Structure 1
Amino acid sequence: MDPDSNLPPANMRIIVLWRGAISTLEIPVAARIIEVKVLICEALHIPVPADRQELSWEGQFLRDELTLQNYNIPPNASLTVLTKIKVEIYVEYSRFYYVCEVHDGATVGELKAKVCAEQSIIDVEHKVLRMNGFDLDDGALLWAATVMEGTKLHLVKYQN
């Protein structure tokens, strides 16, 4: 009997989801999350630097200093790659604007809720986020609505 047969495998395959694309990647089981992010950039040519990536597994955001083992992530698990972006939100009829960091996999509605939670003086009730003169649907994913780093959004009163 081989004494190494009881050892866990050194590498495992994971599935990487990014903006609707699916790829597989062979990674060391003991890799820290930041190392996984670097491998994603290099091996899969995803043009998002490791420090701007947010990795998610089963709805949980993974911390850079921890490992796949810390999270008990099994082989063939699906990791979702999101991009951290900063957007500027200008409030209608005021000089106030707010810079918000969010991941591009959030919805427009989640962005509005985050602004409300972080800036309690901003009321988002009955308001929409507008980009380039068009109202954004609260259910739209930011990346799908082409909201990216540096985008300027306007929080305005909803009009029928």
Structure 2
Amino acid sequence: MRWMGPGGHIMAYPIKNNKVYNMVLIHPQKPNVEHTGSWTNKGDRKEMIEFYKRWNDAVRDLLSYVPEGDIMPLKPSKMLTVSLSLADDGSTALGLYEVIRKSRGEAVQNSAATTRTALHLPYGPEQEKRDKAITGTGPNPDL
């Protein structure tokens, strides 16, 4: 599922044989907070609920299941574990990890920047044009 609205979007999908529902929420960074460039920044449940309070009932209902405390960090640690198991020394393992993650990270970052622009449009003519494109009457903004 994907929801989009002014300033943010949500990608959600089942994982672990449909036993867990993963949600990735993309929305503006808090003002006056240093950005580390990391995808592992922790979020705050109360701030998340506040940001999405005007979104549709399904989104608000799903977010009500999010546990209290810090939430939603993405962890590339599994890839690092694989890299360490394939190399004879730490330096080689980290080099392998960089090769594997760097190109993917750059591709994801470039795609995300383009997609973010299309998905976070405020209500208005450009948003209406995007919505028509998604429903099949114009070029798909996800491509």
Structure with more relative contact order (C-alpha pairs < 8 Å, separation 6 or more):
2
Common fold, TM-score beyond 0.5?
no
Q: Name the TM-score class by shorter chain.
A: under 0.3
TM-score (norm 2): 0.25
- Structure showing the higher helix proportion among its residues: 2
Higher-Rg member (1/2): 1
